[in-house]
Amino acid sequence: MKKDLLFTPGPTPIPPEALLAMAQPIDYHRSSATVALIKDVLEKLKHVFQTENDVLFLTSSGTGAMEGAVANLLSRNDKAIVIRSGKFGERWGEICNAYGIEVIPIDVSWGNSVDPQTVEGLLTEHADVRTVFATLCETSTGALHDIEALANLTRIRPTLLVVDAVSALGADDLQMDTWGVDVVVSCSQKGLMTPPGLAFAALNQRAWDAVERSNLPKYYLDYRKAYESGLEGSVPYTPAVTLLTALQCALNRIRKEGIRNTIARHKRLALATRSAMKALGLPLFAASPANTLTSIRLPEEIDGKAFINLMRDTYGITYAGGQSQLSGKIVRIAHLGWVNENDVIVAISAFERGLVEIGYDIPLGAGIAAAQEVFNGNL
Ligand code: PMP
């Protein structure tokens, strides 16, 4: 019997109470109940963003909040440093290009994370750079970036640090206020256990000052409009009310667990998955792997695409494959959102069986045993 399970870095599994909430009749978005819902959700998001700053939301996927960051923070002829270590770092560059921003790229080979010294060098060389665009977890490679180190460089300069935490919010640590990160963007369908369709941004005062100066065109992605209406529990345009009801349930879960524990759980799940891959003799792709997902480099003789399709079509197990130049070469197993230790055991056991089925010789059960050792506290 096929049983569908998602181990992708978005969308991620949705808890049952959130699914049930979405089955309720749709409410009017100006009703007092929806006003209360929006206020509650925006308040609870602060806990996940680890900030006292207000969080705003847009009805879009995560890229909407990324584009909004460029359009709202920058002005014509501004320069930005863009860290490109995979598909999503590249996206920052593409958005900047679309808005005519001069990009100073830092190209990091895929699988690696940026060296903060390189950023420091460029900040010194180009003192007029307005913004550094970075990624917490580069989902296309599974690499984690040292955002705290980057914030230490930007917080003492007039340059803003804008972080794409689209996939890693709630899984990898990002202490917005303590570290002094200026802008964090994220979305609903990853660590927040909600379907795709909502994007979020949190800005500190430095960032709001830049918003005041910005003269780039914006309309639907206007952060100020979203922020000001959000304070009233309102919205400039019809929001995805259904998704907000699901998000409220998911946020209640994170609040109950506590964000520090939520991050600690993701850390444990990632550690177990990495340990399993080591026991199976399979190398990790990322040099500094994130808690969000684990990328595994496949041996040459394995056709990664065929493997992913087999697992999905025959067993209902969905892992993510490689993107762009990594297509067919890596498998990405996410342990993100509504995922616990038992789920990870399933992900690893299915992975082992799948490899054996396609004729690749691994010590069956070694990965599971290694993961169990981590969960048992023996590693
Ligand atoms: N940034 C990162 C790090 C991501 O993982 C993703 C989605 N995989 C995006 C941006 C884009 O988000 P969306 O597809 O929701 O627009």
Tell me what pLDDT residue 378 has. Answer: 75
Query: For the segment 327-375, what is each residue's pLDDT rounded down to a tens digit?
Result: 999 999 999 999 999 999 999 999 999 999 999 999 999 999 999 999 9
Give percent above pLDDT 90 in the chain.
Answer: 99
CA 114/CA 134 separation, integer angstroms: 9
Percentage of residues in the chain having pLDDT higher than 70: 100
In the prediction, which pLDDT does 196 show? 98
Cis before 25? omega within 30: no
pLDDT of residue 39: 98
What is the CATH number that goes with domain 16-257?
A: 3.40.640.10
Q: How far is the CA of 181 from the centre of ligand 1 (A)?
A: 19
Which atom of ligand 1 is nearest to 137's Cα?
Answer: 3
As a whole number, mean pLDDT of residues 89-98 equals 98
For range 16-37, the mean pLDDT: 97
Per-residue pLDDT, 1: 85
* Atom number in ligand 1 closest to CA 187: 15
User: Tokens for 150?
Assistant: 């980057």
CA atoms within 13 A of residue 119's CA, in its CB half-sphere? 28
Neighbours of 342 (CB within 10 A): 9
Domain ranges of the chain: 5-10+258-375, 16-257
Residue 36 and residue 180: Cα distance in Å, rounded? 30
Relative to the CA of 199, which ligand 1 atom is closest? 15
187 pocket-lining for ligand 1 (C-beta < 6 Å): yes
For residues 51 and 184, give the distance between their C-alpha atoms in angstroms, rounded to a whole number. Answer: 10
Q: Decide if 57 contacts 198 (C-beta within 8 A).
A: yes
Mean pLDDT (whole number) for 276-285: 98
Residues 142-177: tens digit of each pLDDT: 999 999 999 999 999 999 999 999 999 999 999 999
Give the closest residue to 297 by CA, choosing from 326, 319, 334. 326
User: Is the per-residue pLDDT at 77 higher than 80?
Assistant: yes
pLDDT 10s digits, 42-71? 999 999 999 999 999 999 999 999 999 999
Q: What is the mean pLDDT of residues 228-254?
A: 97
| CB of residue 63 inside a 6 A radius of ligand 1 | yes
Judge whether residue 379 has pLDDT over 90. Answer: no
Kindly give, in sequence order, each residue whose CB lies less than 8 Å from that of residue 28, ignoring residues fewer than 6 positions away.
34
- The answer for 181, left when phi > 0, alpha when psi is -120 to 50, beta otherwise, is beta
Span 106-120, average pLDDT: 98
**Is the shortest distance between the CB of 294 and ligand 1 below 6 Å?**
no
92 lines ligand 1 (CB under 6 A): no
Check pLDDT > 80 for residue 215: yes
DSSP, residue by residue, 150-211? HHHHHTTSS-EEEEE-TTTBTTB---HHHHT-SEEEEESSSTT-S-S--EEEEE-HHHHHHH
Interval 227-252 mean pLDDT:
97
Q: pLDDT band at 195, cuts 50/70/90?
A: very high
Q: Which of 361, 373, 374 is nearest to 281 (CA)?
A: 361
Residue-level pLDDT at 125: 97
pLDDT at 248 over 90: yes
Query: Does CATH place domain 5-10+258-375 in 3.20.20.70?
Result: no
Task: Quote the CA–CA distance of 14 and 128 in Å, as a whole number.
Answer: 44
For the chain, the average pLDDT equals 97
